[in-house]
Amino acid sequence: MSPRRRAAVAALLAIGVAAVASGARIWPGGRRLAACVPVQAPVSAAARQALAAYADRIQLGVEHSTGRAREEMWNDPVTGRSRQLSINGKGQVTNQFATSYSGGFTVTIWVNYLARSWTRDRAPTGIVPRKGNSAAELVQANRDDVTNGTARIVGHETVDGEATLHLRKTVHPALPAGITLPKGAHRGLLRSLPTFLVDTWVDPLTYLPIRMETTVHGHSTVTDNSWLPRTASAIAETRVAIPTGFKQADPRQGSFDFASGTLISTRCQS
């Protein structure tokens, strides 16, 4: 598979994982589904008590796709800050990406290790981090999927020595609510969007996701999740670190091509 095709597949998988992990509903709006009001599944007192300890923990996701390459992602539910590392099959960091929010602005930083450069972009978005228990939100989404029939329990399995419930669902493409397209374009666009098969292994008591596998077009990516206690070192993992000697590039000059690890120039040539 070429680097560009691999990057395209990875991007599709990332969209699917993000949508599923956030509990987003991207099922088609057919008449039968539209007529049914989704039911919020109950959570037992024992599960709520266990989940209370995760309220401010740092979420760490380690994603594996092709070969030995991986992505490591930290998210802080208190500050909204996140950071992601791309690591190749040789164990070398190739890219670093971080997002933070302040005063209605979103700050994004990209670090390109191959080009030994980095960019910083600050844009007004109006986004205000919403403090909450992200682990509990994922749990509720998993329970709701089972209760509403969008996911089914496949069986009981052991993952890394832990007893889990194996959940499975198929995510079909659909346009977000409020978006309209010209007549005739809707069906063609939906045909071009991928259908995801999502397998999630969760803790039997809390339904906290331990592992997720997303498959599209025969290509799979596996993400292992853990929640780190809120220590100084865990919080530091959500902050970007610019390596010594890397030069800052003007983001207006272009954008990074993560497949090739180069900065694509958009400046006019004389």
Q: Would you list the domain boundaries of the chain?
A: 3-247
Residue partners of 222: CB distance under 8 A and separation at least 6 = 63, 64, 65, 211, 212, 213
Lowest mean pLDDT among 3-7, 50-54, 116-120: 3-7
Residue 123 β-bridge partners: 106
Torsion angle, alpha carbons of 149, 151, 155, 159, to 10: -150
Residue 7 has pLDDT above 80, yes or no: no
Q: What six digits make up the tokens of 2?
A: 């070429």
Task: Give the strand pairing for 262-265 and 254-257.
Answer: antiparallel
Q: What six digits make up the tokens of 76?
A: 């802080």
- Span 185-235, pLDDT tens digits: 555 555 667 788 999 999 999 999 999 999 988 888 999 999 999 999 999
**Dist. CA 165–CA 126, nearest whole Å:** 39
Nearest to 129 by CA among 104, 152, 112, 147: 104
Torsion angle, alpha carbons of 131, 136, 139, 140, to 10: -80
Place of tokens 């978005």: 125
The pLDDT confidence band at residue 27, using thresholds 50, 70 and 90, is very low
The pLDDT confidence band at residue 96, using thresholds 50, 70 and 90, is very high
Residue 120 β-bridge partners: 109
**CATH ID of 3-247, from 2.50.20, 1.10.1760, 3.90.380, 3.40.50:** 2.50.20
**Dist. CA 249–CA 235, nearest whole Å:** 27
End-to-end CA distance of the chain, in Å? 36
Greater confidence, 130 or 68? 68
Residue 125 has pLDDT above 50, yes or no: yes
**Dist. CA 96–CA 53, nearest whole Å:** 29
Lowest mean pLDDT among 29-33, 122-126, 151-155, 207-211: 29-33
Mean pLDDT of the chain: 79
Instruction: Give phi and psi for 31, each to the nearest 5.
Output: -65, -40
Q: What is the pLDDT of residue 37?
A: 65
Greater confidence, 186 or 90? 90
| Percent of residues, the chain, with pLDDT higher than 70 | 68
Residue 255 has pLDDT above 60, yes or no: no
Nearest to 95 by CA among 79, 77, 72: 72
Residue 11 CA: distances (Å) to CA of 124, 217, 236 = 25, 13, 27
Residue 238 has pLDDT above 90, yes or no: yes
Residue 65 has pLDDT above 90, yes or no: no
Residue 129 has pLDDT above 90, yes or no: no
Section 25-41 average pLDDT:
51
Residue 175 has pLDDT above 70, yes or no: no
**Dist. CA 140–CA 109, nearest whole Å:** 32
- Say whether pTM exceeds 0.75: no
- Count of beta carbons in the 10 Å neighbourhood of residue 55: 16
Asked if residues 208 and 54 have their Cβ atoms less than 8 Å apart, the reply is yes
